A and B are shown apart, each in its own frame.
Chain A
Amino acid sequence: MKSTALNAGPASAAAEPMQDSRQGGIRKTSRINRFMVSPSVIVLALWMVVPLSMTIYFSLIRYNLLYPGDNEFVGLENFQFFVTDFGFMAGMSNTLLLVGSVLLITVVLGVLISLLVNQAFWGRGIVRILLISPFFIMPTVNALIWKNLLLHPVSGVFAAIWKFFGATPIDWFSEFPLFSIIMIVSWQWLPFAILLLMTALQSLDQEQQEAARLDGAGPCALFFHLTLPHLARPIAVVVMIETIFLLSIFAEIFTTTGGGPGYETTNLAYLIYSQALLQFDVGLASAGGLIAVVLANIAAFFLVRLIGKSLTEKQ
């Protein structure tokens, strides 16, 4: 019995001749398994539970750093305050707009570009590396590059192009603030999509393509009937992972527009930041954080329902 438990493998358990002792072995095995993983589970649980309960606690009291000691219980007042604030609706819609547009841009462009670089051409290796490289640039640096080198209305590259064609340069961050942010973030995340889709394309079965060509499929039919279905899974991965990160975009906004003008580029993450550290209202920010957590969970729930199925499905 002891040896069965220690070997812990299903094979050694199955080798046990008698039904009773085999079940006993498995039960014992799973108990030992549980014991072995418990340290990491406990650490992880503490890691989550402590900050979460602190946040919940802060969200239920008045806690403004400007008025120390004035910490009485206020119930859901912080939540009510956060939700009814004008910035909340703006933050919500900006977050959705930002996430949605960046997803759309990165997926569509990602598919097209990865299809393009999947063709054999001279210098493909270099082009691929160049395409991936923006991903390795820190968000802050990326935003600064865009702000000072590309979009700057006086010294930016875009301004130079506009001037070259005789047009008036655009002051991107004041005229199209959210669009500018979307551009910057898309540039940052496009390589991620390309990377995943490019690798997926390489595993596209050549003989299937040939069979389809013999069946009379042109480039369009090939794309819609073979390539796109094949890319469904990596696209799902791109959408899920990007959504997680895009919901909490912060550095790009902080370094460029600072959430403005007005609330035009304030997303939820930035709103919470401004509540906590610009208005020093920790209670309100905690409430906002909890709302964001709930929203992220709702988004995650739908994402998993929508596309998670294709991930867990066996290929």
Chain B
Amino acid sequence: MIEIDNITKIYDGRAAVEAVSMTIESATITAIVGTSGSGKSTLLRMINRLVEPTTGQVRINGEPTAGLPKNALRRRIGYAIQGHGLFPHHTVAKNISAVPRLLGWHKDKIHARVNELLELFSMPPDEFRDRYPAELSGGQQQRVGVARALASRPDLLLMDEPFGALDPIIRTRAQADLHRIQRTLGSTILLVTHDMEEAIQLGDQVAVMDQGQLVQHGTPAEIITNPATEFVAEMVGGVDRPLRLLSLLSVSQILENGTAEGDPLDEKSSLREALSVCLWSGRSALPVERNGSPIGRVTLEAIRSRAEGTHEPG
């Protein structure tokens, strides 16, 4: 558990981050979202003390970070940034093993860990270990950057716009990958983004920042249905809000008994997909299946009532 306790950073008399407090539960993703200059990076960098707070405290599992030696602290915390920051003169394997080498891990353990991570990121070790960053695609470089940040099994992974340099198609895949890996490893992730879509997709919790202040902190559904300020409402986007809400819910959550005509939908599909199929095929109900066998149906009516946002999602 990471506790950020009333933390402030003043630059030249102006607060870049002002009195932010929040608690991050282990094994969750928290997305910090806000416009450029709102203090997201500064907040993130105060956690691994790349920036020293002017006042306030950060505690990791109850232990204040201010009392720890800086470099030892940073070696316990993964750090991945936009544009990856890989070492251009080190191979993929050497890049990934950077922190384990700093920690003095045994050679065999490092070798095995690098292979394990490469496989986790669907990059066959035989093919990729000895490549240099310049020999990788943008998406592969980004994955190596994240693998490097995860290499020493850190308590916490900090990510500053990790997908910012990727084109939209690859970005979607990278986000899905990160989500899968976080669930597999049970990592605690604090991720900075300026993209509300990304925050909602990835975050178990979303923290919205505006001019150095934390204006709202809650689940994606809370942020969408109950924006705390004008600014949050604007970030969430008036027109898209119903669709965003639907994309958070899965078909299984409004499953009804009964049958319907046409091609079935998997129960894990989002309501947004279900809506899109309904409209496209002109049907008012769709059959739903689990592992290929029918389990019920979902109706356009039920989707619509969810989109109106009056129900708190279960």
Indicate whether A and B interact. no
